[in-house]
């Protein structure tokens, strides 16, 4: 499938949708007309190479998850512009650690350093919108209550995801999340972030059932101003750590 945005195109191959190099050739113009082309994990390596060739000719920047990147011929590495590691199981600890599913923390650092040597920026898919309610591997009820990192009761619960929501109005929560942002940049040298679940963060109803049909819906009494403030602080911190961050 192909999903177009204002300046990006997403290529995704699901279980019943094989995206072949021949199929990509038919989608050549939309790829060439986009500023960014994001490739999902399921796409075959030969298809990834074909997309990269088209993008290289048109100047479209390639955004790639590291899983297919590991299988690509070394000759096409320089054609990748951005890597986005995406490991949602890390939500259990608010992405505060590097899981070993794809390697050790040191191997992740090596991957990022190697990408930098090739002129490739590496972006993290960062989940600060929510965290799992599991008690054994998560931070829920860390102090014995249901509102150490969240608001008490239903206000601290995200029904759609069946997970807990951060209380961005608490100084301790802000410091915890901001330190996490700084950790990934300073310790692993990530070049920036794509914040996951931003709509859920920005609105008290988490955007569920809201049709954003006009600008009045984007900033209203439904807007969580504490979450907006957190995102502003996060962006300020990111720029302080790395003025060229993405």
In terms of phi and psi (left: phi > 0; alpha: psi -120 to 50; beta: otherwise), the region of 84 is: beta
**pLDDT at residue 4 is higher than 90:** no
The predicted-structure confidence for 53-72, as pLDDT tens digits, reads as follows 888 888 887 776 655 555 56
- Lowest-confidence region among 60-64, 127-131, 181-185: 60-64
Q: What is the pLDDT of residue 42?
A: 62
Tokens standing for 38? 């994001």
Which one is predicted more confidently, 99 or 222? Answer: 222
The predicted-structure confidence for 72-108, as pLDDT tens digits, reads as follows 666 666 666 666 555 444 443 334 445 555 568 888 8
pTM over 0.75: no
**pLDDT at residue 241 is higher than 90:** yes
Mean pLDDT confidence for 151-177: 89
Q: What is the pLDDT of residue 198?
A: 92
């Amino acid at each position: 499938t192909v999903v177009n945005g204002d300046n990006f195109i997403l290529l995704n191959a699901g279980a019943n949708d094989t995206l072949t190099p021949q199929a990509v050739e038919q989608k050549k113009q939309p790829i060439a007309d986009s500023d960014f082309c994001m490739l999902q994990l399921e796409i075959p390596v030969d298809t990834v190479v074909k997309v990269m060739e088209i993008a290289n000719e048109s100047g479209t920047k390639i955004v790639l998850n590291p899983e297919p990147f590991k299988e690509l011929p070394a000759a096409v590495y320089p054609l990748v512009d951005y890597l986005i590691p995406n490991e949602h199981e890390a939500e259990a600890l608010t992405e505060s650690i590097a899981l070993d599913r794809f390697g050790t923390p040191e191997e992740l650092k090596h991957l990022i350093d190697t990408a930098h040597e090739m002129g490739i920026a590496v972006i993290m898919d960062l989940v600060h919108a929510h965290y799992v309610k599991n008690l054994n591997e998560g931070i829920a009820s860390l102090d014995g209550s249901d509102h150490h990192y969240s608001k008490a009761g239903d206000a601290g619960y995200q029904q759609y995801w069946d997970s807990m929501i951060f209380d961005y109005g608490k100084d301790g929560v802000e410091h915890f999340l901001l330190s996490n942002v700084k950790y990934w940049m300073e310790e692993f040298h990530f070049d920036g972030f794509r914040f996951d679940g931003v709509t859920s963060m920005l609105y008290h109803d988490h955007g569920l059932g809201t049709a954003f049909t006009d600008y009045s819906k984007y900033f209203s009494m439904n807007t969580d101003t504490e979450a907006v403030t957190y995102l502003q602080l996060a962006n300020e911190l990111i720029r302080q750590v790395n003025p060229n961050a993405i």
